[in-house]
Amino acid sequence: MSEAAASVPSLADLTTLRLGGPAGELVEVTSEEEAVNAVRTGKPVLVLAGGSNVVIADEGFPGTVVLLRQRGIHVREEGGTVRLTVQAGQPWDEVAAVAVANGWAGIESLSGIPGSAGATPIQNVGAYGQEVAETITAVRAYDRVSDEIVTLPRDACGFAYRTSVFKHNERFVVLSVTFELAVSPLSTPIRYAELARTLGVQAGESAPLADVRETVLKLRAGKGMVLDPSDRDTFSVGSFFTNPVVAADAVEPVRRAAGEPPAWPAPDGMVKLSAAWLIERAGFGKGYGDPASGVALSGKHTLALTNRGTGTTAALLGLAREIQHGVKDRFGVQLHPEPVLVNCSL
């Protein structure tokens, strides 16, 4: 384990937003044992890997920041399935690429998502009709309450839309994740209409894994959702707000205010609405923002709040509040942030 010297780098260097102040202490770990030792001190700890789903205050984090850098993918084939046990610090898109290259189906539509494998169960990462909850069989984690390493089966992970037992909960530190994928040259059934249309297949049909990955990467890049150091539209946490899930009778006021919204059935008779659609129709178009603030909505996608190079976390959260209030005033719908807010709040 290597500890940073007295001069601790800004946490902005460790996040996709490129925002955030200094850490009280910075510790980099490259093994499970080092990770456990780093977080069992009893001090306030912030665990980071890819830094793609966190918004850190301009004041930084006064405790210890633990950087997960342990990597590795262990493969075990069992008939028509394969189990991948992936270390928490492994970059996620490398996992998706390995799966596609080897003919393992189940995470191909999750290609191009920044961040680490260990972060995927925390917010139940999903995109283009797939969620990791569908393929995760177990999460190995350090339980800071019982001071032991535990293995949580899928049913114990509390997976729901963009959340889990691990999110907003300092009890568990994810160490590795096991996925079960199908051995197949074809994808799982394509559920997402835009992806199916671009691939030239019907919803519910499959397509070659490589075609799905290539198409998803192109779609994401067109929305600024693939990291590119030369493109400020990608300096974000991806989707800043989750799609709101509302009672069925809450849809009619939205319909009266702005026409028929994109909507999908949700559990318990609820309805999921498109946050991007609501944001745009509340008056916040692509690129919206005050140039002097250094932050703005992406020029490619209204769900991404971006740092244009001179922004601050305070300015970003100010823009997020403006959008929240605008959508609430227009439609009566409350938007909730998707990323974890560290030492700051909306």
Whether residue 59 lies in the annotated active site? no
Whether residue 298 lies in the annotated active site? no
Q: How far apart are CA 254 and CA 278, in angstroms?
A: 9
Q: Which entry of 162, 213, 220, 232 is annotated as an active-site residue?
A: 162
Alpha-carbon dihedral angle through residues 300, 303, 309, 313, given to the nearest 10 degrees: 170
Q: Coil, helix or strand for 14?
A: helix
With beta carbons less than 8 A apart as the criterion, state whether 143 and 172 touch.
yes
With beta carbons less than 8 A apart as the criterion, state whether 160 and 121 touch.
no
Q: Which entry of 25, 131, 280, 338 is annotated as an active-site residue?
A: 338
- Axis crossing angle, helix 209-222 with helix 92-102, rounded to the nearest 10: 150
> How would you list the strands of the sheet with 245-246, edge to edge?
245-246, 271-273, 263-265
CA angle centred on 206, ends 203 and 207, rounded to 5°: 115
Q: Which of 117, 131, 209 is nearest to 163 (CA)?
A: 131
Q: What number of other Cβ atoms are within 10 A of residue 48's Cβ?
A: 26
Q: Which of 220, 245, 229, 246 is nearest to 303 (CA)?
A: 220
Q: Which of 225, 224, 227, 241 is nearest to 341 (CA)?
A: 241
Whether residue 34 lies in the annotated active site? no
84: number of CA atoms within 13 Å, CB side? 30
Q: How far apart are CA 99 and CA 1, in angstroms?
A: 30
Which residues neighbour 153 within 8 Å (Cβ) at sequence distance 6 or greater? 137, 138
The H or E element that residue 208 is part of is none
Q: Which entry of 239, 280, 281, 298 is annotated as an active-site residue?
A: 239
Which residue numbers are catalytic? Answer: 162, 239, 338
